[in-house]
Copies of this chain bind each other. A is one copy, B any other.
Amino acid sequence: MLKSTTATIVRKLQLVSGLDAEDVQALESLPISIRHAAAHDYVVHDGERPTQCCLLIEGYAIRVKYGSTGQRQILSIHIAGDIPDLHSLHLNVMDHNLITLSTCTLGFIAHDTLRDMNRRRPRLAEALWRDTLIDAAMFREWIFNVGQRPARARIAHLFLEMKYRLQLIGRCDGATFDLPMTQNEYGDALGLTSIHVNRILQELRREGLIAVNRQSVNILDEPRLAELAGFDRTYLHQNRNL
């Protein structure tokens, strides 16, 4: 079952920002060069000056900042339909890395092409701008998460965010979804050590809230988890009318 390379992003933008037929047409006819990447491959490096953007067609990727003393902070987790380095269209230098989490299908679109499209189709340009703004909104929530919530709530919040984002693109029907992350990586995302992540995960399992393993998450008791996390999905801005 071969899906169009743009199917997922088209679906996302349609739901989130609204596109007319011509916009969809413009997106679908964009020249994209496909590449397959292995898990834990660099897509874009910190300090680099990209001349193209990377559409995540299939798989999972993360944005990561490294510190001088080896610390590592995951800034966001990306799924199919995302363009994690869209910002490079207007920000010349990368200030972080883009790395795959799983094997991925990537589609590269030249900056020139995108700029051209934006000029021609202001509604699409707006949708892309909006996409980067939603990115920023998720960063804000991430700051709150890391700065204010205790470890349990932090982890719970991450799972719920991923659930709603995957739901939007049709990759989570019930309560289960793929998420190929190690406990170490959860730690890097949440500002915790893998040991502590492990402690908390044990607790949450014991309490019957979730089932997690290296590749997937199953949310067993969403109401209690949402309560624990203080989760409010407004910040995801998934509905353009809301």
Contact = CB atoms under 8 A, between A and B. Distances in A.
State which size class the interface on A falls in.
Answer: 35 or more
A3 interface: no
A137 interface: yes
B130 A90 contact: yes
A137 B139 CA distance: 9
A63 to B, nearest CB: 8
A93 B140 contact: no
Interface string A46-77: 01000000000000000101011101110100
Contacts of A190: 147
Contacts of A125: 125
Closest 6 CB pairs of A and B: A147-B191, A139-B139, A136-B136, A95-B235, A71-B148, A90-B130
19 contacts: A63-B140, A65-B141, A65-B144, A73-B143, A73-B144, A90-B129, A90-B133, A91-B130, A91-B137, A92-B242, A95-B137, A95-B234, A95-B235, A132-B136, A136-B139, A139-B142, A143-B146, A147-B191, A148-B191
Given A65-B143, A95-B234, 15 more contacts: A65-B140, A65-B141, A67-B230, A75-B143, A90-B126, A90-B129, A93-B242, A95-B137, A95-B141, A119-B122, A136-B139, A139-B143, A146-B146, A146-B147, A148-B191
